[in-house]
């Protein structure tokens, strides 16, 4: 029977854990940093709390550390702009993540 290639540990012939395979794939494709930056998108609600999470939607993080967030209303956008330094401090307190340098608030459409 022919052996399948690329899926296992080359040295031992055993399958590689999926987490390791995925990490190696992302690193080989140059996507590791981009995925790490995007972690804020899934952590957003826990970081900002339910009230802010209810009226916002994180959209993307740029290479320079700018987080784009959609906001439900102009009133909330103004309020969140005033809270930006507090939110950045909370976001950047996470261990092992590149810092978010700026938040750009955008009206959700």
pLDDT tens digits, residue range 80-95?
Answer: 999 999 999 999 998 8
What distance in Å separates the CA atoms of residue 48 and residue 6, rounded to the nearest whole number?
Answer: 41
For the packed helices 84-91 and 32-48, what is the interaxial angle rounded to 10 degrees? Answer: 120
* Domain extent listing, the chain: 32-107
Say whether pLDDT at 8 is over 60: no
pLDDT of 6 > 60? The answer is no
Higher pLDDT, 32 or 43: 43
- Looking at the predicted structure, is the pLDDT value of residue 2 above 50? no
Question: For residue 7, which phi and psi values (nearest 5 degrees)?
Answer: -105, -15
Spatial distance between the Cα atoms of 84 and 73, rounded to a whole number of angstroms? 16
Highest CATH level, class, for 32-107: alpha beta
């Amino acid at each position: 029977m022919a052996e399948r290639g690329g899926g296992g540990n080359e040295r031992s012939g055993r399958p590689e854990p999926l987490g390791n395979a995925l990490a190696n794939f992302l690193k080989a494709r140059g996507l590791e940093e981009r995925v790490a930056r995007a972690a804020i998108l899934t952590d957003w609600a826990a970081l900002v709390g339910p009230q802010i999470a209810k009226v916002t939607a994180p959209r993307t993080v740029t290479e320079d550390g700018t987080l784009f967030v959609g906001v439900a209303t102009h009133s909330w956008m103004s309020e969140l702009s005033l809270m930006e330094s507090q939110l950045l401090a909370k976001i950047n307190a996470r261990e092992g993540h590149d810092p978010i340098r700026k938040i750009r608030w955008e009206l959700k459409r």
